[in-house]
Structure 1
Amino acid sequence: MQIYLPIAEMSVDALAILAMGGAVGFLSGMFGVGGGFLMTPLLIFVGVPPAVAVGTQANQLVAASVSGVLAHWQRGNVDVKLGLVMLAGGVFGTTLGVWVFGILQRLGQIDITISLTYIFFLGVIGALMLIESARAMLRRRRTATRGKLHHHIWLHGLPLKMRFHRSKLYISALLPAAIGAVGGLLVAIMGIGGGFLLVPAMIYLLNMPTGLVAGTSLFQIIFTTAVATLLQAATNQTVDVVLAMLLLVGGVIGAQFGTKAGGLLRGEQARMLLALLVVSVAGKLAWDLFSRPADVFSIVVGTPG
């Protein structure tokens, strides 16, 4: 069933877009990520202009994240106080990111910037997560001895310390705020919730309990993506409402099933699967960007006779 997208100025198969939204919503609920790291490249793969894919995808993340948070909230897996501190940084990062996005769009460099940014971030973060999760699985097999609950680093010595009772943490508020700011920047420029970066940062930098990371991450993503959608629509006109509605329906349904599936996996298993997905998407983007196109053409400008 073909449907026309007014902002993207193209027709797409509505059922295929619904299926894509459902699949990404499933991943959102399972891993506690917004899923944008996968949806934006998928939209680009089917021909949606990168700028429209980024602006519209941020809107889809709102619904998928709300659906996922509701499921985690019922289980008590959301640290609201820590999420609000991350949100403060996220709003700042989103505003800055939309401003930079507009500048790059006017310069005609936004498409290549989006592709290169995806390849770099997904490749590096995915590889690091893959290595760490593999090591964790090996350690689990070798010993059942539990190590220290928290490993302190120099970042934990920063000022403005706050106590987060739900996560049993006493850390500087600057640390979660900075993580939220980076996430907000990624929402605006890459159209992603930043979960693939927020989740490992919350685990390894904040030392949050793994069970609270997914719900808290999605809680923060809801509001930063909502701000990004409003700013993108108002300043850059890159939000396609028709495409967003199709993604919303699929995302909400998929997130509910993903949350249930996520409870069946151990922490290191979930991180391994997420890492494999991230690396795979980065590889596909790199291949499409640097490989020889299927249709090679050239424009020859003739000289007047």
Structure 2
Amino acid sequence: MQIYLPIAEVSVNAFLLLGLGGIVGILSGMFGVGGGFLITPLLFFIGIPPAVAVATGTNQIVASSFSAVLAHLKRRTVDLRMGTVLLIGGLIGAGLGVFIFNYLKSLGQVDLLVKLCYVLFLGVIGAMMFVESVNAIRNTRKGKAPKRKKHNWVHALPFKMRFRTSGLYLSVLPPLAVGLAVGILAAIMGVGGGFIMVPAMIYILGMPTKVVIGTSLFQIIFVTAFSTMLHATTNYTVDIPLALLLLIGGVIGAQFGTIIGLKLKAEQLRILLAIMVLAVCFKLALDLLLMPSELYSLGMDG
């Protein structure tokens, strides 16, 4: 069933859009990522203009993340206190990120810079998560008990707060810094930032994986909602029919993703997320290296 998208000015199969939204929703519920780094390239592939894909994609992330958070709240796997601290840093970072993005845009080649940021961060984070997860699975099969978390420089910082859901007592400075960094990168790269925040919460803050997923989604909701409002009010690139179909698919998929995620072990979740991150990294790197189908593009000034 073909449906015409007025802002994107293309006709697309409605069931295809529902399926894309559902896939991203499942991944959101399973891994605690908004799915912006996946839904936006997928929309490119089916012919949606980049500006509309970015703006409408963030709208879908809000819905799938909100749906998944509701499921996690029922299971008490969301650390609201930690999420609030991360959110404060994220909103400040998003404001700084917009300023940095506009400055880089004035210098030119911002598109290339964004793609390089994707390849760099996805490659490094995906590789680290993959190696750590493989080692954890090996140790589990050999019957080795997991090593107890040792106190590091993070635990020596001042302004400590108790995060009961995560079972942590540490300074608010590291979560603020993580939120700030994610907010900046999210604004520059046009994503929710979950693929960066989830590993940071696990490896830097030492949060349990099950709690990390729900808490990450809680922060992503507000950051992507803020981004969507900016796009809708300044660029007018949010396509309502496209957003609605992605929303329906995302909300349904997120519920299934949460159920699947709770049935998998923490090591299995991390290695699956690492493989997905590396796959997207490889595709983006390939696009940068291969010769484009169109060497030139024409545009009008103003």
TM-score (norm 1): 0.89
Conserved in 2, the CA contact under 8 Å of 1:55 and 1:188?
no
Instruction: Determine the structure 2 residue equivalent to 1:17.
Output: 17
Deviations 1:8-53 (A, max 9, x none): 3433332212111100000100111111121122122223333332
State the distance in 2 between where 1:104 and 1:235 align. Answer: 19
Instruction: Determine the structure 2 residue equivalent to 1:207.
Output: 206
Conserved in 2, the CA contact under 8 Å of 1:50 and 1:111?
no
Give the secondary-structure state (helix, strand or coil) at the position aligned to 1:7. Answer: coil
Instruction: Determine the structure 1 residue equivalent to 2:187.
Output: 188
Give the secondary-structure state (helix, strand or coil) at the position aligned to 2:263. Answer: coil
> Structure 1 unaligned runs (5+)?
300-305
Instruction: Determine the structure 2 residue equivalent to 1:98.
Output: 98
Instruction: Determine the structure 1 residue equivalent to 2:32.
Output: 32
Q: CA deviation at 1:94?
A: 1.7
Q: CA deviation at 1:110?
A: 4.2
Deviations 1:238-266 (A, max 9, x none): 43333222211111010001111111211
Rate the CA distance shift 1:190–1:8 in 2: closer, same or farther, 3 A: farther
Conserved in 2, the CA contact under 8 Å of 1:151 and 1:207?
no
State the distance in 2 between where 1:298 and 1:18 align. Answer: 31
Deviations 1:113-165 (A, max 9, x none): 332222222122111111111111112122332421x3222133222211112
Instruction: Determine the structure 2 residue equivalent to 1:71.
Output: 71
Rate the CA distance shift 1:19–1:103 in 2: closer, same or farther, 3 A: farther
Where do 1:1-305 residues align within 5 Å?
A: 1-104=1-104, 109-148=109-148, 150-294=149-293
Rate the CA distance shift 1:103–1:44 in 2: closer, same or farther, 3 A: farther
Code of the residue aligned with 1:133 in structure 2: it is: S
Conserved in 1, the CA contact under 8 Å of 2:154 and 2:205?
no
How many residue pairs end up in the alignment?
Answer: 298
Conserved in 2, the CA contact under 8 Å of 1:51 and 1:111?
no
The runs of at least 4 consecutive aligned structure 1 residues that moved more than 4 Å come to 102-108, 294-299
Rate the CA distance shift 1:238–1:97 in 2: closer, same or farther, 3 A: farther
State the distance in 2 between where 1:180 and 1:33 align. Answer: 14
Code of the residue aligned with 1:180 in structure 2: it is: G
Provide the aligned C-alpha RMSD in A.
2.2
Deviations 1:167-220 (A, max 9, x none): 121111111111112222233232322111111111111111222111111111
Rate the CA distance shift 1:109–1:46 in 2: closer, same or farther, 3 A: farther
Rate the CA distance shift 1:138–1:117 in 2: closer, same or farther, 3 A: same
Code of the residue aligned with 1:10 in structure 2: it is: V
> Structure 2 unaligned runs (5+)?
none
